[in-house]
Amino acid sequence: MSVNPQLRKLDIDIPSQPQSLVQLSLLLAEDEINLQAVSTLIETDMALAAAVMKAVNSSLYGLKGRVQSVHQAISYLGMREVAAITFEMGLRAAFPPAPELEPLWERAGRRGLLMGRLATRLSLDAWAAHSAGLFEECGKAVLFRHATDHYRAMLRAAASDVELATMEHAGFGVSHDALGAALCESWGLGPAAVASVRHHVEAQAHYRLPDAEGRRSICALSVLAHVLMHEPEALDLAVQAVAPAAELDMTLVLRAARQTLDQLQAAISQGR
């Protein structure tokens, strides 16, 4: 269900997409992506470039040598992952820094990486998957900025995202999943990523995917990433539930999930 009618009645501001990300989106939409133009665009914004380089050199990506430039990062990681890191940094910058939001951004980076690499292994849209993972909880940042003290109390009181969404509806008339989907639409993310953000709370809680065809596979990856991050012992059950609904082969999905988790854990371990 679209939240646009609700948002027109609510005094909740959704931040506009930073100009650097608008320009990056245009470059990524070209049939033949100009790597030099992309790296130059990122490096032109000194704060953004510094944040991207810090992220690229973190243990999360497991690179053996220190990367010195955005162009080098693209060579090592590929365009999609560097573009995703840039979007992650741009999304962070759209909101004021706060200790309560740091765990959200940390989860976003790891979730996006998991979903992007899962999608690559399963021959799905890796950019849609990675961006959906990055933006999944951004609606929380919108509400935190809108009513900081009130929402801080909600974050502390809620035991789960399902409970949090109920509290958000009662307090604001809209929940973070719907707000996040609205932000994704305004920033130009694709329909599959938007649907994943909009439906992730229900999908992760009940293993129920959206009804719309063509939009279930990315949401299925959201469920799997959530399980890998929070309850890996439930991976087999999650795969059995969402893979058929997304018309994915259960054996291939399970293998891809385990390989992706092993790869990420190894990178983090080597970085310590």
Query: In terms of domains, do 63 and 194 share one?
Result: no
Cβ atoms 108, 154 nearer than 8 A: no
Decide which of 69, 93, 117 is a domain's last residue: 93
Query: In terms of domains, do 10 and 34 share one?
Result: no
Residues sharing a CB contact under 8 Å with residue 114, sequence separation 6 or more, in sequence order: 133, 221, 224, 225, 228, 229, 260, 261, 264
Cβ atoms 149, 193 nearer than 8 A: no
Query: In terms of domains, do 199 and 262 share one?
Result: yes
Who has greater pLDDT, 248 or 51? 248
Decide which of 41, 71, 93 is a domain's last residue: 93
Q: Is 190 left (phi over 0), alpha (psi -120 to 50) or beta?
A: beta
Reported confidence tier of residue 102, pLDDT bands at 50, 70, 90: very high
Decide which of 60, 93, 126 is a domain's last residue: 93
Express each pLDDT in 55-101 by its tens digit.
888 888 877 778 888 888 888 888 888 888 889 989 999 999 999 99
Q: In the chain, pLDDT over 70 holds for what percent of residues?
A: 95
Query: In terms of domains, do 112 and 239 share one?
Result: yes
Domain count, the chain: 2
- The arithmetic mean of pLDDT across residues 141-154, rounded, is 95
Q: What is the pTM of this model?
A: 0.88
Express each pLDDT in 185-200 by its tens digit.
999 899 999 999 999 9
The letter for the amino acid at 259 is: Q
Express each pLDDT in 197-234 by its tens digit.
999 999 999 999 988 767 899 999 999 999 999 999 99
* Residue 80: predicted pLDDT: 86
Query: In terms of domains, do 134 and 209 share one?
Result: yes
Query: In terms of domains, do 139 and 114 share one?
Result: yes
